[in-house]
Structure 1
Amino acid sequence: MSTTESAADVERPLRADAARNRELILQTARRCFAERGTSVTLNDIAHEAGVGVGTVYRRFADKDSLIEALLAAKFEALNDAAALAADEPDPREALRVYLMGVFAFRARDRALADTIVRAGKGRPSIVRERDRLEQQVGRIIERAREAGVVRVGFDHRDLPMLTTMVGAVADATRETDPEAWRRYAQVIVDGVLPQAPVSGLPGTPLDREALERALHASP
């Protein structure tokens, strides 16, 4: 059982007002995390939502519980993006569409990489969605690999760090040029999908444990 909801909450519908408050809290948290990252507190979210702090804590025991509740929607969106890309008949275009889709998602959502890293500690249903995403993206990359259009050694484990790189540009330029990230995302895409003869990448992707340490390291 997740800490997000009690067993009684799962077994019986919420009262109408409680359900409205829960949805309001989720919508507010989604916006606050997207705009400001996961440093936002439950007190901040309560203030932005116009509800008491106690109302937030009745529905979510802590910030991790609230983030977990938002994860399902994020993975649904990413899996939809992967399915859309997989429909592209050209292997290069399929991977390009997915990469740019994920970069666009991160440009809008500061909390994307951090919340996805947390997925391994979430409910089994969230872990399954993460695994499904990795499988879908793995197949897209494998098609590109078989067609000889992607750099040797590139795989899905590289994506969180590439997404973080694009996100840093998006965060730094949001006020001056909200679309500046696209220029640098294109540089990354061209590096992953070179038009010239394909060469290998140095080193190996970070594993999940090393990735979590890197993304949570102090500046």
Structure 2
Amino acid sequence: MRRDAAMNRARLVDAAEAVFAERGPSATLDDVAKAAQVGPATLYRRFASKDALVQEVLAGFFQHLIDVAAEAEQSSAATGLDVFLRTVGVELAGKAGLWAPIWGELAPSALVEELRGRSTRLLRRAQAAGAIRADVTPDDVTIAVWALRGVIQSERTDPAHEGEQLWRRHLDTILRGFRTHP
């Protein structure tokens, strides 16, 4: 690929990430082209459809979350799950429109499963260290992330809570419930 074509492609993916993160599935390819400051024809030369562009953006987002989980694995066994969930909260707060369930089958299932496997390992390590209760399951971790997403969405749509980051308080409550010694 020519250098200018590669730069246009990267600019399109970056713009798409920002637009989809903000607007979710309601964003259009014209919105993306405008944000990337390219014409629609340039976008269509690089991506044949909205689905193809969404898949590229979501793969990048979930790979980033996998990298976050890998970094959390470098933390102590007792704190790795906390580090992971807090970082995921930050990512969701900044990019709520990219969360897998709202995109359905366009979400990269292999990466979603890898992320789930990594979060399960973080949970098991924390349980082995005695930091997290033995009855907390991987599904509880997944539901905690879904709950965060719900709180973040509520914050974004309710002007009374704008900028409060209630998701942090909610996550603290969830983690207290997970811990062996809240």
TM-score, normalised to structure 1, is 0.69
Q: Return closer, same or farther for 1:192/1:25 CA change in 2, 3 Å cut-off.
A: same
Q: Is the 2:22–2:96 contact (alpha carbons within 8 Å) kept by the matching residues of 1?
A: yes
Gaps of 5+ in 1: 1-13, 121-126, 197-219
Determine which of 10, 33, 52 is the counterpart of 1:65: 52
Matched, 1:18 2:5: yes
Q: How many residues align?
A: 174
Determine which of 128, 133, 138 is the counterpart of 1:150: 133
TM-score, normalised to structure 2, is 0.81
1:71 CA displacement? 2.8
- For 1:74-153, list aligned pairs within 5 A: 74-91=61-78, 93-114=79-100, 118-120=107-109, 127=110, 129-148=111-130, 149-150=132-133, 152-153=135-136
**Partners in 1 of 2:104 and 2:76 — Cα distance?**
28
**Partners in 1 of 2:116 and 2:83 — Cα distance?**
16
Between 69-78 and 110-119, the greater mean CA deviation after superposition: 110-119
Q: Is the 1:34–1:112 contact (alpha carbons within 8 Å) kept by the matching residues of 2?
A: yes
1:166 CA displacement? 1.6
Q: Return closer, same or farther for 1:116/1:185 CA change in 2, 3 Å cut-off.
A: farther
**Partners in 1 of 2:135 and 2:104 — Cα distance?**
25
Q: Is the 1:83–1:136 contact (alpha carbons within 8 Å) kept by the matching residues of 2?
A: yes
Q: What is the aligned-residue RMSD (CA, Å)?
A: 2.4
Identity %: 33
**Partners in 2 of 1:58 and 1:28 — Cα distance?**
16
Q: Return closer, same or farther for 1:130/1:178 CA change in 2, 3 Å cut-off.
A: same
Q: Is the 2:77–2:129 contact (alpha carbons within 8 Å) kept by the matching residues of 1?
A: no
Which has more helix, going by share of residues? Answer: 2
Larger radius of gyration: 1
Matched, 1:33 2:20: yes
**Partners in 1 of 2:140 and 2:98 — Cα distance?**
15
Q: Return closer, same or farther for 1:101/1:116 CA change in 2, 3 Å cut-off.
A: farther
Counterpart of 1:183 in structure 2 is 169
